[in-house]
Structure 1
Amino acid sequence: MLKFECIKAIILFSLTTLPPQHTALSSSDSNSQITFQSNHYQLHSTYPSYHGLTSAGQDLWIQSEAELEHITTTCPNSLIFSLAPSEINRALIYQTSQSNPNLDQWWTDDLSTLLTGLRHREESHVIEYNQSDCKSTILHVNKTVLLRLPYRSLRSFVSLLPTHIDAVVHQFHSNLHSHPVKIDSTLQQELGKIRYWPRFDRLISSINPAYFLADTHTLIGSHTNRPRWRTRHSFTDGGIRASRWIKIQFEQMGAKCELQWYHQTFSPNVICWFDPTNPNLAQKGRVVLGAHYDSRSSFGVVSAPGADDNALGCAALLAIARSLRRNQVPIRRSIYFLAFSGTEQGLWGSQALARRWASEGIEVALMINANMIGYRVPGEPMQLGLPIQKPYSKLSNWFIANLTNIYVPELLIGSTPRQGGDEQSFGEIGFPSTSIFERAGKIANPYFRSSDDSLSKPGYDLTQALTIAKALVCLFLFIHLLNFLSL
């Protein structure tokens, strides 16, 4: 079981109404220039001198990011959370026009409600501190709040966190001693080979819908004959149990697996792989398919089924692996299937693994992240959304789009402004990567990050999820089969 010791977390609430890519802190007393490099957005600001009182009545001054890092290092195993507006359209939350001027006031009210709930939870039980421990702190300046919590309070905090607020754990990164080898040329070579091969059609359709549905029900905790859990949140026992179940499924297919325990408070990453069939014909560069398995719930609710976000994405990983193994597809590059934790807290799991691979000099030919593939707005066609191009995703997007147009033409391909998923962790350090999304446009799922994210809700489309999985099977077949086919 996950043990919550009296470790401390520093939580920075940044609840401004600016877009998440450029969220600014503000105060009338500004001293030092800093840049916060966050996982979901880059935060440029003049960091203010915050002065306030801790819950113990002690003065606390924060003057720079360096001082904030000092507070972290002097509080053993502490964390810093940056909370910012979620990428979900707030009109879906408030059921009103996005331009409604009342949105800002409602947003501010949400902050006050959250803080009141946190104070109430802290006062409702006594927390024993050692002399070396850091005290809980709430510091409120304008729309920015600095909060330090003992880790034993994190579960309560998670249950209070509204759906439309992102809790991003800020990490102070040390310089990597080595850098990944960039092999974009691999994708460029493969792009020139794209064409129609009749044999692919039969293989692409080999995904078993019954297994796919059963795996999804297991992950959301609704399968009657399999292990069950109410949530897969990264800070819970349910997350740990889900990770172990995923690992077992891949091992039963013959994969080699490991659990990466990258932090004592998070459930682990699941890392599974299949080695090349013939080592003498093996090519450099791992081909990676990832999906996060952790989930989030509604405000004040423990249950977090996370069907669209992201049980269906994880079920797609399992379905693709089964299809490749069932058809005995020859493997010429190592295939890695990754199930991440810590995504909802700021890509902690994927960053931990990407940095590990970078430090080891691992080569990655392509990384694809499957995140939210099962919701379709009623009346819209089935779609495949690719993120607005970044340097590390341009070739990857072209590769996926061209293959999908040829082999899965029923999917309408377009761009989505959604970004900042686990593919970013790999892309920012040099690995070619991209993500696939259920819609060519913004998030439209009204049950996003809520306890209602369930297959029973209108708009959840298993056919679309399976069709997107077919596109991924096509990609893996193309990469691994092309040199083995008699053309």
Structure 2
Amino acid sequence: MEARETSQEPLLSPSPLEVEVLYQSPDALLVSVPPEDAYSLDLVLPRFWKSTILPSSPTTYFPVPYEDVEPIRRVLEKLRFNPDIAASVNILDIEQMKSDVRFLTGEDDESGIESRHSFTSGARVAAEWIKMRIEESGAECELWSFMDGFSPDVICRYKPVVPSDTRVIISAHYDSRGSFGRTRAPGGDDDGSGTTSLLAIARAIGRKGIKFHTNVELIAFSGEEQGRLGSIGYARKLKEEGEKIALVVQADMLAYRAPDEPLQLGLPETIGTPEAAQLVANISGLYSRELTVGYTAACCSDHQSFYDLGYPGTQVFERAGPIADPMYHNSGDLSERPGFSFDQLYGISKVQFATLLHVAGFEFSS
């Protein structure tokens, strides 16, 4: 299938925004826009630009406490190959992944989804569908509304079989962005790939009858493309309630493989907990040795919302180095195109799942 922009497609936001430029550099802009336009600024930005809404008052930065990283260090120190974990991660189903991502992009011609932009009906269809699929694995899910007008976060929880006062979060964002606001925003790689990974992990949990020793949440966030709004809202809620988080692993863009490059796993150079990134790298060597592990400056996905509040977190990404996907933030971001690699998506999904099992602790239901 040829992936290209269609100039005849109508725009989501046909009227130009009223923008006042306050500061400009070669790679950044500080602008003032009317409040009603702030949440749709992404519709008129070039594809490599991302918007962040500045708070109206100063915010407090919370460093991750040393003692909160200690559980990750203990897992690192004791990390060994576990055949039960290998057997669990190896049942992830590539054919089902293909079906899931095609539903989310609308390529299956059945879902009717043309866009998963945060304000669209397609995003709400996707949210309901994601919720139902993860519930089938035994999780309890809710559609959590964080802001009027936005599609909700999909928050799914597995209750532990032993008392626990902390949780492990595996997340992605299901909202998407097209070409300068074109109505077609399939988001196959960004971030249908990460969302598909969540679904694959949930299906494997259900098939294997896995029960966790820690609270586990699989979360598909909305509002990421407008500045991580869905994850910021949920992270703040947990912080205000005094909830503990052992680890957050965000999956954002897992499937694009540049020509002549090996299958890869990219870890964040800056934003995230170094010990968490090292744990993910070491686990990759145990369960997905086909992946070449490196570091990337690609940043600012939903794990940052938790990291900024003092929670340990990291991200998994599709390559070392900068973003290379030519369909990034493009209406041609489909799964049926050159470079979209389900083998890479499968490999990184195994790493996420294995990380969850090692950190959360588990057993099989009898």
Q: Normalised by the size of structure 2, how large is the TM-score?
A: 0.87
1:229–1:238 CA contact under 8 A, matched in 2: yes
1:402 counterpart = 2:287: no
Question: Equivalent residue for 1:384?
Answer: 265
TM-superposed deviation, 1:13: 5.0
Deviation readout 1:353-404 (Å, 9 max, x if unpaired): 00000000010000000000000011100010000144x5111111111111
1:381–1:412 CA contact under 8 A, matched in 2: yes
Change (3 A) 1:207 1:262: same
Distance 2:141 2:295 in 1: 34
Question: Equivalent residue for 2:345?
Answer: 465
Question: Equivalent residue for 1:274?
Answer: 158
TM-superposed deviation, 1:10: 7.9
Stretch deviating more after TM superposition (471-480 or 333-342): 471-480
Question: Equivalent residue for 1:448?
Answer: 328
Question: Equivalent residue for 1:207?
Answer: 92
How many residues align? The count is 347
Find the structure with the greater CA-based Rg: 1
- Given residue 272 of structure 1, which amino acid in structure 2 is its aligned partner? C
In structure 1, the residue corresponding to 2:34 is in which secondary structure?
Answer: strand
TM-superposed deviation, 1:15: 7.5
1:10–1:149 CA contact under 8 A, matched in 2: no
Stretch deviating more after TM superposition (357-366 or 190-199): 190-199
Distance 1:292 1:197 in 2: 30
- Given residue 271 of structure 1, which amino acid in structure 2 is its aligned partner? I
Question: Equivalent residue for 2:49?
Answer: 165
Question: Equivalent residue for 1:237?
Answer: 121
1:253 counterpart = 2:132: no
In structure 2, the residue corresponding to 1:165 is in which secondary structure?
Answer: coil
1:296–1:450 CA contact under 8 A, matched in 2: yes
TM-superposed deviation, 1:252: 2.2
TM-superposed deviation, 1:167: 2.8
Question: Equivalent residue for 1:16?
Answer: 24
1:428 aligned to 308, 321, 346, which one?
308
Stretch deviating more after TM superposition (246-255 or 341-350): 246-255
Deviation readout 1:244-295 (Å, 9 max, x if unpaired): 221121122221111121111211111111101x2xx333320101101111
Distance 2:206 2:345 in 1: 20
Question: Equivalent residue for 1:103?
Answer: none
For residues 37-52 of structure 1, the aligned pairs below 5 Å read: none
Deviation readout 1:26-83 (Å, 9 max, x if unpaired): xxxxxxxxxxxxxxxxxxxxxxxxxxxxxxxxxxxxxxxxxxxxxxxxxxxxxxxxxx
Stretch deviating more after TM superposition (239-248 or 289-298): 239-248
Structure 1: segments with no counterpart, 5+ residues: 1-8, 24-83, 85-143
In structure 2, the residue corresponding to 1:257 is in which secondary structure?
Answer: strand
- Given residue 353 of structure 2, which amino acid in structure 1 is its aligned partner? V
Change (3 A) 1:198 1:12: farther
Q: Normalised by the size of structure 1, how large is the TM-score?
A: 0.66
1:147 aligned to 23, 33, 41, which one?
33
2:267–2:320 CA contact under 8 A, matched in 1: yes
Deviation readout 1:86-123 (Å, 9 max, x if unpaired): xxxxxxxxxxxxxxxxxxxxxxxxxxxxxxxxxxxxxx
2:205 aligned to 319, 324, 328, which one?
324
1:282–1:332 CA contact under 8 A, matched in 2: yes
In structure 1, the residue corresponding to 2:194 is in which secondary structure?
Answer: helix
Distance 1:300 1:406 in 2: 42
RMSD of the TM alignment (CA)? 2.7
- Given residue 159 of structure 2, which amino acid in structure 1 is its aligned partner? D
- Given residue 409 of structure 1, which amino acid in structure 2 is its aligned partner? R
- Given residue 24 of structure 2, which amino acid in structure 1 is its aligned partner? T
Distance 1:188 1:154 in 2: 39
TM-superposed deviation, 1:321: 1.1
Question: Equivalent residue for 1:184?
Answer: 69
1:180–1:362 CA contact under 8 A, matched in 2: no
2:216–2:360 CA contact under 8 A, matched in 1: no
- Given residue 376 of structure 1, which amino acid in structure 2 is its aligned partner? R
Question: Equivalent residue for 2:9?
Answer: none
Distance 1:395 1:268 in 2: 31
Distance 2:18 2:235 in 1: 25
| Greater relative contact order (Cα < 8 A, sep 6+) | 2
Question: Equivalent residue for 1:216?
Answer: 101
2:175–2:225 CA contact under 8 A, matched in 1: yes
2:72–2:275 CA contact under 8 A, matched in 1: yes
1:298 aligned to 157, 160, 179, which one?
179
For residues 337-416 of structure 1, the aligned pairs below 5 Å read: 337-390=218-271, 392-416=272-296
In structure 1, the residue corresponding to 2:151 is in which secondary structure?
Answer: coil
TM-superposed deviation, 1:168: 2.5
Distance 2:330 2:86 in 1: 37
Question: Equivalent residue for 2:7?
Answer: none
Change (3 A) 1:272 1:174: farther
TM-superposed deviation, 1:210: 2.1
TM-superposed deviation, 1:330: 2.6
TM-superposed deviation, 1:230: 0.9
TM-superposed deviation, 1:149: 6.8
Deviation readout 1:217-261 (Å, 9 max, x if unpaired): 111112234x32111111222222221221121122221111121
Distance 2:354 2:23 in 1: 42
1:179–1:358 CA contact under 8 A, matched in 2: no
Deviation readout 1:290-317 (Å, 9 max, x if unpaired): 1011111112521000100000100100
TM-superposed deviation, 1:475: 1.3
TM-superposed deviation, 1:170: 2.7
Distance 1:406 1:445 in 2: 27
- Given residue 214 of structure 1, which amino acid in structure 2 is its aligned partner? S
2:92–2:204 CA contact under 8 A, matched in 1: yes
In structure 2, the residue corresponding to 1:364 is in which secondary structure?
Answer: strand
- Given residue 206 of structure 1, which amino acid in structure 2 is its aligned partner? I
Identity %: 33
- Given residue 430 of structure 1, which amino acid in structure 2 is its aligned partner? G
